[in-house]
Protein backbone atom coordinates (compact mmCIF):
# COMPACT_ATOMS: atom_id res chain seq x y z
CA UNK A 1 0.00 0.00 0.00
CA UNK A 2 2.66 2.47 1.04
CA UNK A 3 5.80 2.90 -0.93
CA UNK A 4 9.08 1.50 0.18
CA UNK A 5 10.28 5.02 0.96
CA UNK A 6 7.44 5.74 3.39
CA UNK A 7 8.05 2.46 5.11
CA UNK A 8 11.75 3.15 5.43
CA UNK A 9 11.09 6.58 6.79
CA UNK A 10 8.63 5.20 9.30
CA UNK A 11 11.16 2.65 10.55
CA UNK A 12 13.75 5.40 10.73
CA UNK A 13 11.58 7.71 12.85
CA UNK A 14 10.42 4.87 15.06
CA UNK A 15 13.97 3.79 15.75
CA UNK A 16 14.96 7.38 16.56
CA UNK A 17 12.05 7.69 18.97
CA UNK A 18 12.80 4.36 20.61
CA UNK A 19 16.46 5.17 21.13
CA UNK A 20 15.69 8.64 22.48
CA UNK A 21 13.25 7.20 24.99
CA UNK A 22 15.74 4.50 25.95
CA UNK A 23 18.52 7.09 26.38
CA UNK A 24 16.44 9.35 28.56
CA UNK A 25 15.25 6.43 30.65
CA UNK A 26 18.79 5.13 31.08
CA UNK A 27 20.17 8.52 32.06
CA UNK A 28 17.41 9.29 34.53
CA UNK A 29 17.71 5.84 36.04
CA UNK A 30 21.39 6.16 36.80
CA UNK A 31 20.92 9.76 37.84
CA UNK A 32 18.71 8.48 40.62
CA UNK A 33 21.44 6.19 41.91
CA UNK A 34 24.32 8.59 41.59
CA UNK A 35 23.00 11.88 42.79
CA UNK A 36 24.62 13.24 45.91
CA UNK A 37 22.29 15.31 48.07
CA UNK A 38 23.43 18.31 50.00
CA UNK A 39 22.40 18.71 53.62
CA UNK A 40 23.12 21.13 56.42
CA UNK A 41 23.80 19.98 59.99
CA UNK A 42 20.29 21.13 60.97
CA UNK A 43 18.70 19.06 58.23
CA UNK A 44 20.66 16.04 59.40
CA UNK A 45 19.43 16.55 62.97
CA UNK A 46 15.86 16.45 61.74
CA UNK A 47 16.32 13.25 59.72
CA UNK A 48 14.09 10.35 60.67
CA UNK A 49 16.34 7.61 59.46
CA UNK A 50 19.99 7.51 58.50
CA UNK A 51 20.42 6.72 54.83
CA UNK A 52 23.38 4.68 53.63
CA UNK A 53 23.77 6.84 50.54
CA UNK A 54 26.58 9.28 49.99
CA UNK A 55 25.73 12.87 50.91
CA UNK A 56 27.40 16.24 51.16
CA UNK A 57 27.41 18.29 54.32
CA UNK A 58 28.12 21.98 54.13
CA UNK A 59 28.68 24.66 56.70
CA UNK A 60 31.43 26.48 58.51
CA UNK A 61 34.32 24.81 60.28
CA UNK A 62 33.78 25.51 63.97
CA UNK A 63 36.51 27.58 65.63
CA UNK A 64 39.09 25.53 67.51
CA UNK A 65 37.60 22.27 66.41
CA UNK A 66 40.29 20.98 64.03
CA UNK A 67 42.30 18.14 65.50
CA UNK A 68 44.98 16.47 63.42
CA UNK A 69 46.70 13.15 63.88
CA UNK A 70 49.01 11.40 61.49
CA UNK A 71 46.26 9.45 59.79
CA UNK A 72 43.15 11.44 60.51
CA UNK A 73 41.62 14.89 60.63
CA UNK A 74 38.70 15.61 62.90
CA UNK A 75 36.63 18.75 62.94
CA UNK A 76 33.13 20.07 63.46
CA UNK A 77 30.85 21.53 60.80
CA UNK A 78 28.36 24.03 62.08
CA UNK A 79 25.56 26.09 60.61
CA UNK A 80 25.38 28.06 63.89
CA UNK A 81 22.24 26.19 64.90
CA UNK A 82 23.41 22.61 64.89
CA UNK A 83 26.73 20.92 64.40
CA UNK A 84 28.16 17.60 63.34
CA UNK A 85 31.48 15.84 63.97
CA UNK A 86 33.48 14.92 60.91
CA UNK A 87 36.08 12.18 60.72
CA UNK A 88 38.28 12.32 57.67
CA UNK A 89 41.45 10.76 56.38
CA UNK A 90 42.67 12.18 53.15
CA UNK A 91 43.96 15.34 51.59
CA UNK A 92 42.80 18.65 52.95
CA UNK A 93 42.47 21.63 50.63
CA UNK A 94 44.40 24.80 51.39
CA UNK A 95 41.39 26.96 51.98
CA UNK A 96 40.28 24.56 54.69
CA UNK A 97 40.58 26.51 57.93
CA UNK A 98 38.70 27.23 61.11
CA UNK A 99 35.89 29.69 60.68
CA UNK A 100 35.76 29.19 56.91
CA UNK A 101 33.19 27.51 54.68
CA UNK A 102 33.58 23.83 53.92
CA UNK A 103 31.80 21.10 51.98
CA UNK A 104 32.45 17.48 52.98
CA UNK A 105 31.32 14.45 51.01
CA UNK A 106 30.85 11.06 52.64
CA UNK A 107 28.55 8.89 54.72
CA UNK A 108 26.56 9.47 57.90
CA UNK A 109 27.37 7.16 60.78
CA UNK A 110 24.62 8.59 62.94
CA UNK A 111 23.18 12.02 63.51
CA UNK A 112 26.33 13.26 65.20
CA UNK A 113 29.10 11.60 63.25
CA UNK A 114 29.96 11.96 59.61
CA UNK A 115 32.67 9.97 57.95
CA UNK A 116 34.00 12.04 55.06
CA UNK A 117 35.65 10.67 51.95
CA UNK A 118 36.40 13.99 50.32
CA UNK A 119 36.70 17.61 51.32
CA UNK A 120 35.98 20.05 48.55
CA UNK A 121 38.05 23.11 47.90
CA UNK A 122 36.78 26.38 46.62
CA UNK A 123 38.88 28.91 44.76
CA UNK A 124 37.57 31.84 46.65
CA UNK A 125 38.68 32.45 50.22
CA UNK A 126 35.45 34.27 51.04
CA UNK A 127 33.38 31.44 49.69
CA UNK A 128 30.44 30.25 51.73
CA UNK A 129 28.41 27.29 50.55
CA UNK A 130 25.13 28.69 49.18
CA UNK A 131 23.19 26.60 51.69
CA UNK A 132 25.18 28.11 54.52
CA UNK A 133 24.44 31.56 53.21
CA UNK A 134 20.77 30.66 53.18
CA UNK A 135 20.96 29.18 56.66
CA UNK A 136 22.79 32.18 58.07
CA UNK A 137 20.23 34.55 56.62
CA UNK A 138 21.44 38.13 56.70
CA UNK A 139 24.44 37.62 58.91
List contacts with another protein (CB under 8 A): 5, 19, 23-24, 26-28, 30-31, 34-38, 56, 66, 68-73, 89-98, 120-125, 130-131
**Rounded to the nearest whole angstrom, what is the least distance from the CB of residue 110 to another protein in the complex?**
22
Establish how many alpha carbons lie within 13 A of residue 124's alpha carbon, considering only the half-sphere containing its beta carbon: 4
Nearer to another protein, 31 or 48 (CB): 31
Nearer to another protein, 83 or 131 (CB): 131
**Rounded to the nearest whole angstrom, what is the least distance from the CB of residue 32 to another protein in the complex?**
10
Nearer to another protein, 83 or 103 (CB): 103
CA distance 77 to 47: 17
**Rounded to the nearest whole angstrom, what is the least distance from the CB of residue 138 to another protein in the complex?**
18
CA distance 51 to 12: 45
Strand partners, 104: 57, 119
CA distance 5 to 18: 20
**Rounded to the nearest whole angstrom, what is the least distance from the CB of residue 95 to another protein in the complex?**
7
Nearer to another protein, 30 or 46 (CB): 30
CB 16 within 8 A of CB 68: no
CB 48 within 8 A of CB 111: no
Amino acid sequence: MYGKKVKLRFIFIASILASVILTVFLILQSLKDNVVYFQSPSEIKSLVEISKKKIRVGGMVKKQSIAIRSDEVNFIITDFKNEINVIYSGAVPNLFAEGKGVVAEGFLKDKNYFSATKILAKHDENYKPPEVKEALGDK
